[in-house]
Structures are given as structure tokens and as C-alpha cells.
Structure 1
Amino acid sequence: MRLAETVTFGGSGLNRAAELRGDAAAQAALLARGRVLAVWRGKPLTRGGEGLGWLPSDSVALHHGRPPVFLGFDEDHPCFAVDISDWVPEAGAEAVQAGFLDQSEQHHPGLPRDLVFAELRAVMLRLSPREAELAATAKAVLQWHRSHGFCAVCGAASRPTMAGWQRACPACGAHHFPRTDPVVIMLVTQGNRALLGRSPGWPEGMYSCLAGFVEPGETVEAAVRREVWEEAGVRLGAVRYLSSQPWPFPASLMLGCAAEALSDSITLDPAELEHALWVSREEMVAVMSGAHPRIKPARQGAIAHFLIHNWLADRLD
């Protein structure tokens, strides 16, 4: 695909400098002169929602944080991330997940007023490609540390190593690595039409491409065919890979594909989809412009929006 890595969170050429992760002395020196992205309960620190809010390593906001994770170099700037989720905001300021997107923001009293913790979904379109990659990496790896604190082999508490890119078990010696879950997301077409669906609980009118997790022992192509059949009862023929997107909610890799439908009758799995329908190319133009009376477009910044937009522009080859 000609524009494969221009999707949000796409590759920005970040130098992750993996060769430095096991060098404790180098890590200490880099941290001393580097900059740190604080993340609170999955929310990165932002500067008024218009960019990431970087801190020096001795910032008061980081004093009760967990061990830093080395993200790599932005130009010649060493970048780290620190989880400060144990910090408790003042009364009434805690985030409350309200429906599809948490719009609340939190301010740490030790930081300037323009620095706030904000939901990544809400600010991702206002980040540069490099900032987006750094934020996605930080959010996913820090969430993995929070949810994988114990050894999967023997159950003992594990500890972070390799600048945050491994966890080691002191009891049995096992090593564990950050998890990324592969998910197929597919633009299913038949002639001049594309298949859209909506999951239960989505905002009214919101539709997107069908998607699902890849199962063990399954190819990407097989996963595309299985998911569309299971969710919508549509049989597929040719499947081709188009583009991928890191999706740190919490830690998926979206594998964008195009698929040709062999049938068009829809039979829903109500546990997966609330509704699905075929949308003509002409009607999809109205959907994507926000002018359709019933259907709202896929969220801007998500790979579904990216795939549909480029299908309409005839740039999927």
C-alpha cells in the first residue's frame, strides 16, 4: 500500500537503541540527561492537549513512579516513560470512564497548569508522528508491566530488567517479554460496496470495519475469513494485507487487510455485532464527510478510517 505507514501511530523511524537496554551505566547516564513521559493510568502527560508533556528525570511528579522504561532516541534526546498510576489526584479529580471515551483530564500539583494527563484517544490526532509512536509505545509497555507483575511459570513476583523491556523471575529464572496482540481488521468489499458493522455499546450511529483477534495456529488470511463469517455470515475469497497500526488500547497490532466478498447475505452474531450493512461507494462519501443521516464514520486516527478513506481515493494498491 502506497501510504502504509502514514496511519496514526505508524512508524516514525524512532531509534529504539535496543543495544543499550542491558547497559545499566549507559541507562543511568541517558536518564540523567534525558526526558521522561509520565503516564497516569494509561493517560500520557500532555501540554494542553496539543503535544506530549516531557519532564526532567528529577521532576517531583516522578518521585513515586515505577522504574523507567527506555523508549529510545528522538533525534539526540533520550526518551523514557514512567508509570505514576499510584498517584492519587485531589478529591473529585479522578478519571471516570464515561461511555466510549474518557474526556476528563488530571493535573498534578507539582507541575505547571498547562500539563495535564489526557486520554490518548482524545489527543492522538494532535500529536506528531514521532510523539504518537512514543506515546503508543509507552502506554503499551507500562500497561504490560502493571498487568504482568508475576511470573507465568511459577507465580513469583517478577522484576523489570533490560530498561523495562523484559521481566525476570528471581525464583525460577524465567524471562518474560512485552505482549502485543495481533488483530485483523478488514475492508470487505463486493463491487462498489463495502461492509460496515457496529458493536453493542458503541456511540449511536458509529460504524467501522469488522475486526477480530488472530487465534493461535492461524494465518492472517484465515483469521480475516473466519471473523467475517462468524460475525456477519459473509463468505470471503481473496484476502490481501495492506497496512498495520499499533493500537495501544491496551496493546494490539491492527493488521489491515482488503477482502473480496463471495456472498452478500448478512447473518449477525448478536454477541459481536449489533448491526451490519453494505454501503455503496457514493454513500460512503457522505458517511466519511459526516453528512450521512444515519451512519457516522469510523473514528479518525483509527486504521478503519484510514482504510476506508484510501479505498474511496483508490489508493489501496
Structure 2
Amino acid sequence: MTLAYVLNPLDRRANDRPNAGWIAERRQRADARLIRIAGDAALLQDGTLVTANDVTAEPSVFLGLDASGAPWFACRVPATDGMRDLRSLAMEEALPPEQLGMLAQARSLLQWHERRTYCSNCAAKLELADAGYRRHCPSCGMDHFPRTDPVVIMVVRHQGSILLGRQSSWKPGMYSALAGFVEPGETIEDAARREVFEESGVRVGPVRYVTSQPWPFLSNLMIGLVGDAVSAEITIDRNELEDARWFSADEARMMVERRHPDGLYAANPYAIAHELVRVALEG
């Protein structure tokens, strides 16, 4: 299974987005496509993503042009029959990976707009600009831009075992890599070391980058790492984790393959944590 949300074929045309006339022309084109989003769900019909254009559906945001030059947009709609959660679509591989990537872009951008109605500087109502990639305040002139929050997620190795943890809110049996947000003035490596120590008490030395994954719940960028521990004793922060433990390589492989005798498993296959476990086990 391919990591979800990582394949997005659209040319975002960032230099053209400020040109309102250029956007308006593409919004009216016969080959324009429109994705409909309600919360964390997208509208499907008969198992296919609904993309028929509706020029009256506004406000919309511009996603980009596909390989044929067709413009893609997205808009918010009320929840209705046919809506499917983006996580379920990924888990079931119900849509092509490229469409999942476009859905992640659409959901992240629309979610930002849901939370950015008023100016944080003067409280005036904001205006949509740059085809959805900027909100402008007509009162104080301040511009607001969509944010993506960096999250470090790391599998830690030590003497042939790997460190995984779980939160009490997760489904029974699921363990995952430890993760947390990068703080201001912090490197990716130091953020990962800090998060692992805060949650498990384990100290980490060398850290290496593996891969990344957009995560549109809420607009995060998961930065996947593998690290080597310099200590092994675990002290769990019960405010963060229900459990954390070292799993032997054999036990971790059973978790990846969903054949652990106790029903334990290593995250969902579409999530970056699953891939990090695989990479860590490969050495």
C-alpha cells in the first residue's frame, strides 16, 4: 500500500494565482473540475469522486492544473449522502493515490479558511485572495497565509528492538511511532529527540530522515525519522501515552504483518508510522 496523500499530480501555478482574471477564466472552462468537501469527507457517487463543475459553488479555492491542462477547484458543501471520510478512503484504497493527494490539499486549504474568517490583528472580516492561498484584511492591510504545521514522528531503535507507544483513544492493539509538533527555534532532529524523551524518558542520539507525509487533519506535515537510542529505560508520560515499550524485531514484524498473537499491530498501512517501522526493521 502506498502512503496516503503523498501523490499529487497537479501543477499549482502559484505565480498565476494572484491573477483574478486568469482564475476566473479557468473557473468557467468546460473541462474544469470541482471537488466537494464537508468536514473530513469528500463527495463520491458510485465509488467515484464527484468532480463535475458547478460555477455557482462559491467560494472555491484553486488546486492546480492536471496533465491535460484541466483546472481543479474545491469548495465546502453541506454534508450529504455519498460523503466518505478521507481516512476511510485511504484505508480502503477506494480512490487512486493521485486523487487522495488532491483531497488532502483541498481539505487542508478549506479547513484553514474555516478558521480564518477575521483578522487576528484588528478583528475585521478577511477577504479571500490569490484563489484561496491568501486572506487579506481590508481594514489594516495585513495578509494571512495558509499554515502547515510540522510534526516529527520517529521510530527509535536499540539493540535490535524498536520503541512504539499508544494512546488510550486509539483502537485496541494499535501501536505507533512517537510524535509531536516542532516548536519555534527548534531543529527537526532536536524536536524528535525532545518528544521521545518527554513521552517515554528514552534519550536518542543519531537521527536520520526517512520520508514525509501530508496529513490533512489538521493540515500537518509528518516528518518521518528513525533514531538510535542512547538509553533504554522507559518512563511513560501518562498524560500523553497509555503504554510504551520495546518490541523485538520478530514481534514488530508480526505487528506489521497483522499476525501478532495478541492482536497488536503497527499503525495503519496508509500512515507514515507503518512505513517507519518497516524501515527501522530493515536496519
Tell me which interval the TM-score lies in, with the shorter structure as reference length.
Answer: over 0.9
> Alpha-carbon deviation of 1:210?
0.4
Among 269, 273, 278, which residue is 1:304 paired with?
A: 273
Measured in 1, the distance between the counterparts of 2:205 and 2:278 equals 22
- Code of the aligned partner of 2:42: P
Provide the secondary structure at the position in 2 that maps to 1:279: strand
Measured in 1, the distance between the counterparts of 2:7 and 2:27 equals 24
1:56 maps to what in 2?
Answer: 53
Measured in 2, the distance between the counterparts of 1:232 and 1:47 equals 45
Measured in 1, the distance between the counterparts of 2:205 and 2:121 equals 41
Measured in 2, the distance between the counterparts of 1:41 and 1:193 equals 39
Structure 2 counterparts to residues 1-317 of structure 1, below 5 A? 7-33=3-29, 34-48=32-46, 50-58=47-55, 63=56, 65-75=57-67, 76-84=69-77, 87=78, 106-107=80-81, 116-124=82-90, 125-294=93-262, 295-312=264-281, 314=282
Measured in 1, the distance between the counterparts of 2:18 and 2:61 equals 12
- Code of the aligned partner of 1:158: L
Over the residues paired in the alignment, what is the CA RMSD in angstroms?
Answer: 1.5
> Alpha-carbon deviation of 1:129?
2.7
Whether the aligned pair in 2 keeps the contact of 1:74 and 1:130 (CA below 8 Å) is no
- Code of the aligned partner of 1:57: D
Any stretches of 5+ residues in structure 1 without a counterpart? 1-5, 90-105, 108-115
Whether the aligned pair in 1 keeps the contact of 2:23 and 2:131 (CA below 8 Å) is yes
Measured in 2, the distance between the counterparts of 1:26 and 1:19 equals 11
Whether the aligned pair in 2 keeps the contact of 1:22 and 1:163 (CA below 8 Å) is yes
Whether the aligned pair in 2 keeps the contact of 1:51 and 1:131 (CA below 8 Å) is no
Any stretches of 5+ residues in structure 2 without a counterpart? none
Whether the aligned pair in 1 keeps the contact of 2:9 and 2:66 (CA below 8 Å) is no
TM-score normalised to structure 2 length: 0.93
User: CA-to-partner distance for each residue in 1:112-167, whole Å, 9 max, x for gaps?
Assistant: xxxx1111000023332321211000000000000111111111111110000000
Measured in 1, the distance between the counterparts of 2:193 and 2:16 equals 41
> Which runs of structure 1 show a deviation greater than 3 angstroms over 4 or more consecutive aligned residues?
none
TM-score normalised to structure 1 length: 0.83
Provide the secondary structure at the position in 2 that maps to 1:231: helix
Whether the aligned pair in 2 keeps the contact of 1:181 and 1:213 (CA below 8 Å) is yes
Report how many residues are paired. 276
